[in-house]
Structure 1
Amino acid sequence: MSTVTAPQPAPTAQAPVGPAVQARIAWRGPVLYLVVALISLVFFSLLTPGEDTTRFMVSTRDDFVEIAPFAVPSRATALVLSVVALALALWATRLTTQRRKVPTWVPILFGGLVLLAFLVWVMAGNTNALPLTILLTGALTLSVPLIFGSLAGLLCERSGIINIAIEGQLLGGAFLAVVVASLTDNPYAGLVAAPVAGALVGAVLVLFAVRYRIDQIIVGVVLNVLVVGVTNYLFSTVLTQNPQSLNSPPRLPTLPIPVLSQIPVIGPVLFDHSLIVYLMYVAVAVLQVMVFRSRWGLRMRAVGEHPKAADTVGIKVNLTRVRNSILGGAVAGLGGAALVSAGLAFTKELTSGKGYIALAAMILGRWSPKGALAASLLFGFADSLRQVLNNLGSPVPSQFLAMLPYLATIFAVAGLVGRVRAPAAEGIPYVK
């Protein structure tokens, strides 16, 4: 009995498999780590006199446990910190050569080690103790306007509107906060009025951007110049003539949180501030959830990435952009109120470029609330360090110390941002 075999399919020719194409190694990070680590090793440790000591103060009188100021040997401490930083740089270089991702904690720890080595070097031989608590508290306080400004830019740009007018929104918010608080003798009234000024600037920005489809960068720059001119004119003519009634705002009272504010170091830095700082905590947390975990945030990001697709599913693109731009302006106005929350009088060009630094913080934070928070804290720390070192006296020239916040901005954006992608429809008017 014969068996019938089924016909076998003809063998198919297989394409030759070549070597896999590997991604190009990015050497910028490892090179930056190595250069900074070597600078720290040479200048902050080897060139420090061996007999000098550096004194630190980490406690305040109101803490549960009062820690006495202590001194450390300058050269030995800076040497240990620099060697550990160099070891981290070498490890990051090895991971990069193996095409493995460098963990997020590596640059954070590396930056902290180099920063401590710098502080040990700059305060070596100084009879004054470096008040770390005051330094960190000042960093948080000075970063609050930047955080609000970067959140304002995030709200606008995530919906497709480029907000260069953060500088004007901060300045307008500070001006109205001072005037209203001075007239009512109530700092909280100024805190309520400040977002109104920022929202007005945001409304003008989105009006020209959406309705008349004018280049958003040009509109933002013009608005900054306009707000500077208007506030300077009103300061010179109105506020100067009657400073007691119009330019003498009361200070926002400090609201220490019971128990938490008395924890050494952490308490004074995080839990002993005015209402504006606690509002910043809430704003960052709420926006982090809303932008990435809510339907509102999904729609906003859809408008900023692909407005045509968003319009197809029923999302009103231009209305979303108008609402977000006005909301972003109001948030920036709160940042302006933070500038004068300590009872400071209004002066010409009070913001001094903080709006542009906030814009850089938003980019460095990759259009994320928590990223903007971290970047703003970096710039605020640079500004606080400048003030503390100027008060204590240091071998670093005062002109260089004045450059610290802006140098930090340039190096951070140029060296740490890497390849970032803005929202795809950013700055592009939408026409049905």
Structure 2
Amino acid sequence: MAAISVQVPLLVFMALLATSARAAEPSAVEQRAREDLDRQLQEMVKTPPPEIVISFEGLPGAGTSRGYKLVEADFLVNGQPLAIPGLDKLNGPGLHRLAVLTVEEGSYTLVSHVTYANESWNLFSEESGFLWKLTASVTVQVQRGLRARVRVLPAINPTAPDPRLKLKLSHDVKAEMTAAMADVAIPDVPDAGAPVAAVAQAPAKPTPPPVTAPISPTPPVATPVKTVEAPEQGPVAPAKLLLKVLAGKRPAAATVYVKSATGAPQRVMVDRKARKPVEVMLPPGEYRLDVLSQGYLAQTRKVTLSREAVPTVSFTLAKAPVSKSQKVRLKKEVVELPRMPRFAEKQAAPRNGTTAGLALLMDMFVRDEKLRLRIEGHTDNRERPAAAARKTLSEARAAAVAKALVDAGLDASRIETVGLGDTRPKAPNLLPRGRELNRRVEFVLVRKE
């Protein structure tokens, strides 16, 4: 009862203060009274920090005979990306948790980008091979003691008159209390603070807050967002990459696999109608980009991303050969190209115009990551007076061709070189034509188990 006798005069005093029309700043006594009231209210309501739980609802029918498959997804909270599960998991039915965030009071905007493809093939369906690039956003206001549950909801619109409208994306938001209020009446004190929006209350057991880094409310600041699922791999502010894929001078449809030293490859679908470069947001670091397109030779590039620059990586595709005589031939483990590099006498670099066949070799290595290559250099028996000098020249020839492949994007760790001098002639050295054939390199496959 002693506690009640102290509180009641204080609350009456505060009510009188609130109803008095004073233009001057509150006195020191009034300020202390307000602070004392705030302290009492905080004791009556145990308020943990705000939480935001973000989940993704798998599209009904995705990955099944209906053909809809999620091929790209990224989610940003106040401009900061979330670390999310793999696409294989998100393609499954049901609710998939993306993140549990412990944040400060304020306003937060979730922007969701997803891309679905229809991988089923039906000659009479205008949806075959179609891509749906969907974007939606939602803003939630959170305060202490509240948990906001946000669901990302892709859905099928079966009555859409246009196939472009067949899929849609929306959000669903619910709020719940994270702490029960004490059984004490809280007085209504006018002008004691900003009005609080009514929130549907659902009973919930208090749970310990997840180990996350805070996100600042709008306007955003550079505070990293971490998810409960992978706190050791929390996302950082992203870097931007621009992708352009051309066939001649026109855009081409292609799949670009973005690979890093850690993590699973990401797949980026490039539309043949894309007139502008495709934007890809990634954490800063080193990446390898493999591009594959039906009817064209595969290519690869290396790129280093930072937040200070926005590089543009362009691929100009070459048509895959149709004639058997223009394709790669294998004799045991030796690769024979339709046009092998040729060398002038005593020169280490290949002749101009004789390295076009290396594109076929690149195509093999992009499509099969287990392949390794040994490049063997050779000379004729007259290019240098001494055997040691001829061996050195043959090593330089192998190294020059290896450099051409590395410059085209092949990882140097997949190549080894060796010089054999004139010890393995391919033709008699007595004739000029025979010596020309002996000035060569050979490609030997080494498969990694």
With structure 1 as the length reference, what TM-score do the two structures score? Answer: 0.22
Higher helix share: 1
- Whichever of the two has the greater Rg, that structure is 2
Larger relative contact order (C-alpha < 8 A, sep ≥ 6)?
1
Give the strand-richer structure, 1 or 2: 2
TM-score, scaled to structure 2: 0.21
